[in-house]
Structure 1
Amino acid sequence: MTAVYRLAAGLILAGMWHFRNYQNVPQRDAFVDTPLKVTTVASGLNVPWEMIWGPDDQLWLTEQSGTISRINPKTGEKTLLLKIDEVYRYRSLGLLGMAIHPDFRRKPFVFVDYMCKKDSLITTKLVRFTYKNNKLTDPKTLLEIPAHTGHNGSRLVFAPDGKLMFATGDAITITNAQNTKSLNGKVLRMNMDGTAPADNPIKGSLVWSWGHRNIQGLVYGTNGMLYASEHGDALEDELNIIQKGGNYGWPKVEGFCDQPAEKQFCDSVKIIEPIKSWTPTIAPAGIAFYNNSLFPEWKNAILLTTLKESDLRILKLDKTGKKIELETIVLDAQYGRLRDICVAPDGSIYVSTSNRDWNPATGFPKPADDQILRITPGKKGDTEPQTAALPAVPPGQRLYNQYCASCHKQNGEGVAEVFPPLKGTGQVKDKEQLIQIMLKGLSGKIEVNGKSYDQHMPAMAFLTDTQLAEIATYVRQSFGNQLDAVTEGEVKTVRSR
């Protein structure tokens, strides 16, 4: 696994950061030291989910609460273009993806997707608006598909040939992704009116690729390749290259074809494996392709924001664009969850935070959240390059932070109505029940201390008996709990049943 050193929060000075990749690689492949200047462009936003550099040299953005605006990157002035009243905002649902027609002068179209709810039915709508007199008008619904309380994907991007690509999630329905008759768990390709192009891989269908769980980032490189970042379950977040008619494996395959059941499936079905995967998961979000000279050492790289790890990753590609040679982290845990990223024509980089979403990190949101940040080169000599190792913590705490804290939080308080707290609950007190939940997962509504939670707890059976025992012991002896430890033998016994 690529070794990455994180930057120390206590060694930050005057808004400047340095980054350095410390892999043992030839000098020609190493990133050079560059100070980064980070400034705030806008604040007080409500989860800016999508950012695009507009045809007017302003930042166009969607906010999850249902507004489309543009922001002057020089002054931070915000202009409202549209408020969509039928947007259903709940947990990860709301107004999400957006794409602007590449020939905006002749075709002033803006495409967005969002969730709606009628009675108990939740759907995703793909709608085309027309830009007139500083407003978005004349909505035309191109597509409406089933949605759920999560896993709705929802990134949009234009292909070099002018077709619209739309990434959908599996809508928490395990059979959708491999079912080519379903439009969930797919990358869709369509004409501007929502119809299926004649050269799609399945005649008359919008489906371009399938086997996706929940794509969160979508971008074309200057090499013409379509890259996608995708959420795994408890392991194997992915970066993929999307190909026509490609099957990406979910739910039969997570990440690479390296487990016995996965190998058996891959022997009979052609699966496209990711060019990168992350375990423990990092919750990858928006991605951008960087090929500008402002940061010359970042040329030919995928820039990736993360939610769970709250950082920005530079994934340096090889000359073919099919392999990641280096991974470097910047902005590590300084601004909370990072949702999207946009590269301006001059090479400056804009990042949006996501701290007012349904699952904020401990300590967030801050009063200024959510924000749009600009990254530009700083002045050499402003700071010295700084690195520091993560503080040493017991194995159980380390594993809890990697696999559990993004949902149940570092303090064990959980998230109201979604993830239950871990203090004094029956599930934590009952040792065998706790082990069973960790091994097999738990989905759907449960009652904890008189309150209802609608959660998805993934199975963690891929961890060893020792690792599971360490996590369970940490939970039972933290957050105000004073319970006896869980042993490796106890986990082994429950696993064998």
Structure 2
Amino acid sequence: MDFFRSIPVWIAAFAAVFVTGGRDATAPQRPVEPDSLPLSVHVHVVASGLNVPWEMVWGPDNWIWYTEQSGSISRLNPKTGEKQLLVKIDEVYRHRSLGLLGMALHPDFPRKPYVYVDYTCKKDSAIATKLVRFTYRQNRLADPLTMLEIPAHTGHNGSRIVISPDRKLMFATGDAVTITNAQNTGSLNGKVLRMNLDGSVPADNPIKGSLVWSWGHRNIQGLAYGRNGILYSSEHGDAVEDELNIIRNGRNYGWPKVEGFCDQPNEKAFCDSVKVTEPVKAWTPTIAPAGIAVYEGRLFPEWKGAILLTTLKEADLRVLKTDAKGESIVSESIPLDASYGRLRAVCVAPDGSIYVSTSNRDWNPGSGFPKPEDDRILRITRGTQADLLARKAQSQAVTDNVSNGARLYRQYCASCHKPDGKGVAGTFPTLHGTQQVKDKDQFVQIMLNGLSGKITVQGEEFDQHMPAMSFLPDESIAEIGTYVRQSFNQDLDPVSVSDVAKTRIK
């Protein structure tokens, strides 16, 4: 049928992927075993013209139920591409990363036809996150019931919803750009919450009378159950240490005192005084992990029990194989890499095919996106082995031609300032011809210390947090600085290691 497009994608899935042991991404790293079996996949476009499909759930009707960040909930027939709008929620407040986000269906659906969603709304100047239950009947969602309302902010609002094997609703919230929330067990922000399906507090929660199940979270983006009832989460770090965690009852995950593992002097002191649960995996440079699902299908038997992870910054789908207990990561591979832009949600069909959604009409699209057909829902099935080695050789040739400064810029800067250095109008400032870049001392200081609050660049005001990059060695800061000053500007001298060292000690 003409609304389907089948695109072969060839992958060198045996390329090694690394876990960083510290904050210096240029230092030797601890390798994770690569997959021994090269694998290719085919991608089929099932739906297009969407507006950031943030969550996807495989329904008992064998349709994909999905949310769109702009406020719509719909069903998609994966065989025909037919879309059916179920509700448009008018009170959804869409701004940057805010909007209609997570969704889960009642485990007894359709006998109990309840659909749980969370979204942001705004009244006057106050932003809130709502957890709302809708009732499905006659192909519509109606009778919204607000189960919970908590403070929100212009970012870091999470969030995902899943139903646990013991039939509890698990709801991941962000710290709402107030880092003290995460360690404050009296706040419901920066937490994983656990509640009965009617919204009440379970009697066996770790804090009596509280919905809090775990704390010390910054901004969880993925939540899924796997082997042995293990709950996995993916979480955005700041400038370093995106995380994959196992969420357990009454555990503290460290933010903002700890990022990733307890491997820095100030973190070790906190970890010695407070029992912190470390991630099972962390990524520096960051990858902006998003949705996760655990694969139990037959189409890719070599992936059985693995965690499927989509990423925004790296625009890829990753397969994280675990040990037999599901408690550690033993390999990582990338079967879909940077072909369709930012990837947001993932779900698995009963036949073992994998569905992912793109996120190219969100607030921070990658270079060259959105395409006219965005956003899309893609079906991934097994491909052939043709041209696999040619694809690998081509990828290696591209990598070999990139300077270290360009590589570091892509890893740490391009997701906001974009590969061409032009940023995003009204959100992230350009690096072309700006006074902040021309003034070398100021530029190095900004890279080392970051920025927070309002800043004026070429007459335009910006108000975004830029994380500090002081965790990078002087050589890396100098290479990034030189790349920016000489690639996006004219006649600017390079940044030297001594320039960085002098600024660092001030």
| Pairwise TM-score range, normalised by the shorter structure | over 0.9
1:464 aligns with 2:457: no
Match of 1:173 in 2: 178
Could you report, residue by residue, the CA deviation over 1:270-301 in whole angstroms, capped at 9, with x for unpaired residues? 00000000000000000000022210001110
On the 8 A contact 2:34/2:332 being kept in 1, the answer is no
Match of 1:4 in 2: none
On the 8 A contact 1:35/1:383 being kept in 2, the answer is no
Match of 1:76 in 2: 81
1:143 aligns with 2:148: yes
Match of 1:393 in 2: 402
Query: Match for 1:280 among 285, 300, 310?
Result: 285
In structure 1, how many angstroms separate the alpha carbons of the residues matched to 2:287 and 2:412? Answer: 10
Structure 2 letter corresponding to 1:95: L
Structure 1 letter corresponding to 2:99: G
On the 8 A contact 1:475/1:481 being kept in 2, the answer is no
Per the TM alignment, residue 31 of structure 1 is displaced from its structure 2 partner at its CA by 4.4
The SS at the match of 1:400 is helix
Per the TM alignment, residue 449 of structure 1 is displaced from its structure 2 partner at its CA by 1.1
Could you report, residue by residue, the CA deviation over 1:96-152 in whole angstroms, capped at 9, with x for unpaired residues? 000101111321100000011111111101100010111101100011111111111
Q: In 2 relative to 1, CA 306–381 (structure 1 residues): closer, same or farther, beyond 3 Å? A: closer
In structure 2, how many angstroms separate the alpha carbons of the residues matched to 1:415 and 1:227? Answer: 33
Per the TM alignment, residue 185 of structure 1 is displaced from its structure 2 partner at its CA by 0.4
In structure 2, how many angstroms separate the alpha carbons of the residues matched to 1:29 and 1:78? Answer: 39
Query: Match for 2:461 among 452, 455, 473?
Result: 452
Per the TM alignment, residue 242 of structure 1 is displaced from its structure 2 partner at its CA by 0.2
Per the TM alignment, residue 245 of structure 1 is displaced from its structure 2 partner at its CA by 0.3
Match of 1:332 in 2: 337
Q: In 2 relative to 1, CA 100–14 (structure 1 residues): closer, same or farther, beyond 3 Å? A: closer
Per the TM alignment, residue 22 of structure 1 is displaced from its structure 2 partner at its CA by 4.6
On the 8 A contact 1:246/1:271 being kept in 2, the answer is yes
Match of 2:51 in 1: 46
The SS at the match of 1:331 is strand
Aligned residues: 481
Structure 2 letter corresponding to 1:407: C
Match of 1:224 in 2: 229
In structure 2, how many angstroms separate the alpha carbons of the residues matched to 1:408 and 1:76? Answer: 36
Structure 1 letter corresponding to 2:91: E
On the 8 A contact 2:16/2:333 being kept in 1, the answer is no
TM-score for both structures, normalised by structure 2: 0.93
Match of 1:98 in 2: 103
On the 8 A contact 1:438/1:468 being kept in 2, the answer is yes
Aligned residue runs from structure 1 range 23-422, under 5 A:
30-378=35-383, 380=384, 382-385=386-389, 386-387=391-392, 388-389=395-396, 390-422=399-431
On the 8 A contact 1:290/1:302 being kept in 2, the answer is yes
Per the TM alignment, residue 480 of structure 1 is displaced from its structure 2 partner at its CA by 3.2
Structure 1 ranges of 4+ moved more than 6 A: none
The SS at the match of 2:477 is helix
Q: In 2 relative to 1, CA 98–150 (structure 1 residues): closer, same or farther, beyond 3 Å? A: same
Match of 2:446 in 1: 437
Per the TM alignment, residue 260 of structure 1 is displaced from its structure 2 partner at its CA by 0.2
Per the TM alignment, residue 29 of structure 1 is displaced from its structure 2 partner at its CA by 8.5
Per the TM alignment, residue 367 of structure 1 is displaced from its structure 2 partner at its CA by 0.9
Q: In 2 relative to 1, CA 346–19 (structure 1 residues): closer, same or farther, beyond 3 Å? A: farther
Per the TM alignment, residue 78 of structure 1 is displaced from its structure 2 partner at its CA by 0.4
Cα RMSD, aligned residues only:
1.5
Structure 1 letter corresponding to 2:130: K
Q: In 2 relative to 1, CA 29–368 (structure 1 residues): closer, same or farther, beyond 3 Å? A: closer
Structure 2 letter corresponding to 1:195: S
The SS at the match of 1:223 is helix
Structure 2 letter corresponding to 1:490: D
In structure 1, how many angstroms separate the alpha carbons of the residues matched to 2:293 and 2:7? Answer: 27
Could you report, residue by residue, the CA deviation over 1:349-385 in whole angstroms, capped at 9, with x for unpaired residues? 001000000000001111110000001113x455444
In structure 2, how many angstroms separate the alpha carbons of the residues matched to 1:153 and 1:384? Answer: 37
On the 8 A contact 1:16/1:382 being kept in 2, the answer is no
In structure 1, how many angstroms separate the alpha carbons of the residues matched to 2:291 and 2:229? Answer: 18
